[in-house]
Structure 1
Amino acid sequence: MFDVGFSELLMVGLVALLVLGPEKLPRAARLAGLWVGKARSVLAVAKAEIKQELAAEEMRQLMQQNIAGEVQKALDDTRSAVDDINFNIQAATETDRNDDKPSSAG
């Protein structure tokens, strides 16, 4: 994230030593470390929550796709069954009509 090298850290340390003095510098360093630790903790929690929400959203989308696919399959199966029933009804009706016709042989 930040490109801070050893020379930059050394310069910040020297400036802090000059500004704060040798008595206050250790306490200031501990306080800075505490705040950095808290900031990292907050960022880690936020990152975990975002990752969890993205995973939940991805699962919702997959479920919706699966549900839509299964509904479409059920609809196709139902249409196929209705078509088969209609075909069988037509075949039975035609058979009945042919049985009711008088035969012209004879």
Structure 2
Amino acid sequence: MFDIGFWEILLIGVLALIVLGPERLPGAIRSTLKTVRSVRNVASGFKEEVEHQLRVHELHENLKKAEQQGLKDLSPELQNSVDELKQAAESVQEPYKKP
């Protein structure tokens, strides 16, 4: 992601040691790592949400194509999308079925 070499890290470490001192440096490192982890988690969550929305959009488009073709003579990709959507609809209706 970033192109930071050994010498840059060493320089940052020495400057941090001089500015913060040996008492506050470990706490600063911990808080910096905590912040970096939280930013990574937010970015990962955003990426997963975007991928999910793209998949939903793709399924929706495939369903539109399948409806236009009358759900007959579908390509394997469209048939898979339709089957996946049917399974999802059945799984949603499952808890509400009366025994």
Could you say whether these structures have the same fold, taking a TM-score greater than 0.5 normalized by the shorter chain as the test? yes
Q: 1:15 — aligned with what?
A: 15
**TM-score under structure 1 length normalisation:** 0.64
Structure 1 residue runs of 4+, over 4 Å off?
none
Q: 1:26 — aligned with what?
A: 26
What's the offset of the Cα at 1:5?
1.2
Superposed, 1:35-54 pairs within 5 Å as: 35-54=35-54
Q: 2:95 — aligned with what?
A: none
1:7-57 per-residue CA deviation (whole Å, 9 max, x = no partner) reads 111111111011000000000000001101111111111110001000000
Relative to 1, partners in 2 of residues 1:61 and 1:8: Cα closer, same or farther, differing over 3 Å?
same
Relative to 1, partners in 2 of residues 1:37 and 1:71: Cα closer, same or farther, differing over 3 Å?
closer
The CA RMSD over aligned residues, in Å, is 1.7
Of Structure 1 and Structure 2, the greater helix share is in: 1
Superposed, 1:22-101 pairs within 5 Å as: 22-70=22-70
Gaps spanning 5+ residues in structure 1: where? 74-106
2-side partners of 1:30 and 1:71: how far apart?
57
Gaps spanning 5+ residues in structure 2: where? 74-99
What's the offset of the Cα at 1:69?
1.1
- One-letter code aligned to 1:66: A
Query: Which is higher, the Rg of structure 1 or of structure 2?
Result: 1
**TM-score under structure 2 length normalisation:** 0.69
